[in-house]
Amino acid sequence: MMKMVCVLLFWSVALGLWAAEGEPVCPSGLCKDSFSKYWMVESESPDYHVAFSGDTCEIIAPKGLTLWRKERMEGDVVIEYDACVMDEGKPGDRLSDLNCFWMASDPRYPDDIGARMEWRKGNFLKCYSLQLYYLGYGGNYNSTTRFRRYDGNENGCTDEDARPPVLKEYTDAEHLLEPNKWYHIKIQNDGGRVRYYINGELLVDYVDPSPLGFGWFGFRTTLSRTRIANFTFK
């Protein structure tokens, strides 16, 4: 019996070491020990705060902030994650802006989304310099939910007329944020077809005549306290 216990302990330790050196224990990267390996923060304010509870990441964003996933995504992709905008009357709480970018790239540096992070510094207007798909859920103080395709025209950073049009918009309460509610987001890029689901409901079904074939994912928010968990892509 003692021999069997020792064998089990040996394999438990061995497998634990293998997991630490091989596959990550927290594949979402939204854990304290692996966060910097998988994510990078681009923030308009140096006073942002990131905290962890298990595999859940909480972000307090005093101003504009993009949390970029470091891997470049290519071709057909399915992205999924859970997110919740906290509104409990605490400092930093504001019910707004459960947003995201995907297939994002900088036309000046197509192989490196981080090349001009110091120039953008989390400023939302400077994101018009990127090519990407954007869904802003409960933006503008939780008054709109909008989908756009950015074309990388840098003039849009300063010229409103050069910015891409809104391709889909909701303003009804059914499609705006509820406080402290967890949402499951699923994004599918399949050829030229782009779909965005939230809690199983299809909000966007867009056929892109010039589909974006590669890029990075970025979770985007501002003036909020948000929790994110269970991020995957394949």
Structural domains in the chain, sorted by start: 27-233 (2.60.120.560)
Residues across the chain: 234
Q: Quick check: 19 pLDDT over 90?
A: no
The stretch 65-94 carries a mean pLDDT of 97
Would you state the pLDDT for residue 10? Answer: 36
Per residue in 101-144, pLDDT tens? 999 999 999 999 999 999 999 999 999 999 999 999 999 999 99
The model's pTM is 0.89
Pick the range with the lowest mean pLDDT from 16-25, 106-115, 149-158: 16-25
Q: Quick check: 2 pLDDT over 90?
A: no
Would you state the pLDDT for residue 24? Answer: 52
Torsion-angle region of 154 (φ positive above 0: left; ψ -120 to 50: alpha; else: beta): alpha
Q: Residue 53 — pLDDT band, cuts 50, 70, 90?
A: very high
Would you state the pLDDT for residue 27? Answer: 85
The stretch 165-170 carries a mean pLDDT of 98
**Do the Cβ atoms of 232 and 82 come closer than 8 Å?**
no
Chain mean pLDDT for the chain: 91
CA 131 to chain centre: 16
Pick the range with the lowest mean pLDDT from 24-28, 31-35, 121-125: 24-28
Q: Residue 18 — pLDDT band, cuts 50, 70, 90?
A: very low
Pick the range with the lowest mean pLDDT from 21-25, 133-137, 211-215: 21-25
What distance in Å separates the CA atoms of residue 234 and residue 230, rounded to the nearest whole number?
13
Per residue in 168-212, pLDDT tens? 999 999 999 999 999 999 999 999 999 999 999 999 999 999 999
Q: Quick check: 39 pLDDT over 80?
A: yes
